[in-house]
Structure formats: C-alpha cells, structure tokens
Amino acid sequence: GGIAASVVQRSKADGYTLLLQYSGFHVITPLLTKTSWDPVKDFMPVANVLSAPQVLVVRPSLPVKSLKELVAYAKANPNKLNYASSGNGSLQHVSTELLNQMAGIQITHVPYKGTGPAMTDLLGGSVDLTITTPPPLMGHIAAGKLRPLVVTSKERLPSLKDVPSAAEAGYPDLDVSSWFAMYAPAGTPKPVIDKLTGEIDKIMKTEAFRKKAEELGAEAKYMNPQQLDQYQKAELARWGKVIKSADIRAE
C-alpha cells in the first residue's frame, strides 16, 4: 500500500494513473510511521468503492457466546486472553485496542506477519480471538471452526445475518470498517475527477457489483469526493486518538 501510494503520488495528474487504496494503509500507516506521501495533501479523493465491517471471532473452545460474555470473561480473568493480528499497527490491532478501551479490559496483543499465520494459530487454538474482515473467516465460520460474536457495525451484515451488530451488543461506537477508495494524484483537474467518480457510481449501482461485494462480506458503499474527503479526515482523527491512547507503535 505504501509503495503503491508513492508511485501514484509521483504520477502525472491526468486521471490515467489511479490508486485503489485500503484504509489500513491510508489512515493508519501514516499515523504510525513516516511516509513519503501525505494521505490528504498528495491525493484527490475520487470515490469510496467498498466498505467491510470487521468480525470478532473466538476459538470454539472459549466459553463465551456473545460480546457481553467475552467482556465478563476478560474481567474475571485479567491478562489471560490474547488476540491475533496481522501485525503491529494493523486495523486488527487498533480495532481490538479500541474494544479494550471501551470495555475497560485488557486482552493481550499477539502480532503476526500477516493474516495467514494469525489465522493458522487461531484455528489451532494458540490464540483466543481476532477481529478482521469477513473474507478469510467465512469458510471457517460455516465449518464451525470459529465462533463469531459480533460484527463491528451499526447494522448486521447480510452474509452473517445471525451475528449481532456492535450496536445491538451494546457497543455502538465499536463501528470499524475496512474501506477501499479510489484516489488520483493531487492536482488532477476537477472535470477529470467528476468524470471518474460518475462512472464509478454507475458501476457500483449494478446488481452484479452489489452481489459480488456481498459475497465477499463487504458492501458497495459509494461516497463522492467531498464525502470521502470528510470521512478520511474523521478516520485520521479517530484512529490518531486510539493509537496515542494505546501507545501503539509500528515496531
């Protein structure tokens, strides 16, 4: 994500070289480490394309079946629970630290070098839980190898309709989504941005796009350039506070 951003940052601002960026790279990486690019100054928002809430899953042998029970278990067994992430500063890391802060609990972080190794140890029972996007979880949930407790959003996810939302579970502010948005280099002419965002909007309204997004456990959630600009700035401010409060570092 960082490499891609630096390439697009240096590209000609003519609308032919675009960045489809993941929120973890766009609003969390710059808060943790010095980057050669600025997420706001060096890019022009074009459109948000996909949004995917996170899902909190636990190993089936853990004696909890809801977020309320998990919080109670964590309080009754301080420093006994641990959670896997794909690395320091990942969205999985900051999301679970947000839960720690909200619930007044301490679940210990175990960082891995990627989602794959983290999932392997979670399935093997070496760690207790994780919060991540639906795609790597869906098959394991269906097979009963992982137990979903909550979706980190205000509403339920259609592909996991039996799993309560964070709002239903009593944590409305545990509203965490991965999002994927299109950006152009700073200085791209407004008529070019308008043309691009208009075409993306048309594509996203098709049944095929919406259906494919749902299959991935995501939502086709369009935002125009102004909406995306406001949203990314709010996300930078929000995660900046969480990272500072939890003293999260890249290494």
**pLDDT higher than 70, residue 251:** no
> What kind of fold does domain 55-160 have according to CATH?
D-Maltodextrin-Binding Protein; domain 2 (3.40.190)
Whether the model pTM is above 0.75 = yes
Once rounded to an integer, what is the mean pLDDT over residues 10-15?
A: 97
Once rounded to an integer, what is the mean pLDDT over residues 77-104?
A: 92
- Domain positions in the chain are 2-52+176-246, 55-160
In this prediction, residue 154 carries a pLDDT of: 87
Is there a shared CATH topology between the 2-52+176-246 domain and the 55-160 domain?
yes
The contacts of residue 181 (CB under 8 Å, 6+ apart) are 20, 21, 23, 26, 45, 46, 47, 48, 49, 223, 228, 232
**pLDDT higher than 70, residue 190:** yes
**pLDDT higher than 90, residue 215:** no
Distance CA 56, CA 184 (A): 33
**pLDDT higher than 80, residue 153:** yes
Domain 2-52+176-246 has CATH 3.40.190.150: yes
Mean predicted lDDT score pLDDT of the chain: 93
